[in-house]
């Protein structure tokens, strides 16, 4: 397995993986990924095995300390000089779950954000995943203002 950043050639692959990992109301669609790949492909960390995408993490960089729903739809809000690496999705296809794949990519995202001089990483998650992200040092900041996909989300922040 190897981790690399994305290119536009990954569009169909990331769209398919996202659809396998999130309910339709929460999953980013092809057009959203196309826009994100045009604006911030270096903020897509792809985990692949023998050329097959088995997981990825993506998200913009921002000066905001929490994720707003508008960020999911508007790639132009990305600020390459921003203080926070936002994480929009942590994806692993079902057959590779519970094998440390997501953790491997998350550790790379954290290392890269630290190396780039960010203040930290931010994400939203459902209550059942709070403990998972706490293992990486994220702090639960409470219920998020995000209502993305009609779900209840929690703001999580990792400060370097």
Is pTM beyond 0.85? Reply is yes
Tens of pLDDT, residue by residue over 76-130, are 999 999 999 999 999 999 999 999 999 999 999 999 999 999 999 999 999 999 9
Q: Which of 25-34, 126-135, 137-146 has the lowest mean pLDDT?
A: 25-34
Domains of the chain: 2-159 (3.40.630.30)
53, 31, 133, 64: CA torsion to nearest 10: 140
Q: Would you say residue 23 has pLDDT above 90?
A: no
Residue 151, Cβ density class (10 Å: 0-12 exposed, 13-18 middle, ≥19 buried): middle
20, 36, 107, 116: CA torsion to nearest 10: 180
Question: What are the strands of the beta sheet with 154-159, ordered from one edge?
Answer: 61-62, 84-87, 120-125, 154-159, 139-143
Give the closest residue to 110 by CA, choosing from 66, 158, 71.
158
């Amino acid at each position: 397995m190897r981790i690399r950043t994305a290119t536009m050639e990954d569009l169909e692959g990331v769209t398919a993986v996202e659809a396998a990992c999130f309910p339709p109301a929460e999953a980013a669609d092809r057009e959203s990924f196309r826009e994100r790949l045009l604006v911030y492909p270096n903020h897509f960390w792809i985990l692949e095995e023998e050329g097959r995408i088995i997981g990825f993490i993506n998200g913009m960089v921002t000066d905001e300390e929490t994720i707003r729903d508008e960020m999911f739809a508007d790639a132009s809000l990305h600020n390459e000089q921003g203080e926070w690496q936002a994480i929009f999705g942590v994806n692993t296809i079902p057959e590779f779950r519970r094998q440390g794949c997501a953790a491997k990519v998350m550790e790379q995202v954290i290392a890269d954000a630290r190396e780039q001089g960010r203040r930290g990483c931010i994400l939203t998650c459902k209550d059942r995943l709070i403990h998972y992200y706490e293992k990486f040092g994220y702090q639960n900041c409470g219920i998020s203002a995000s209502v993305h996909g009609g779900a209840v989300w929690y703001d999580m922040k990792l400060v370097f």
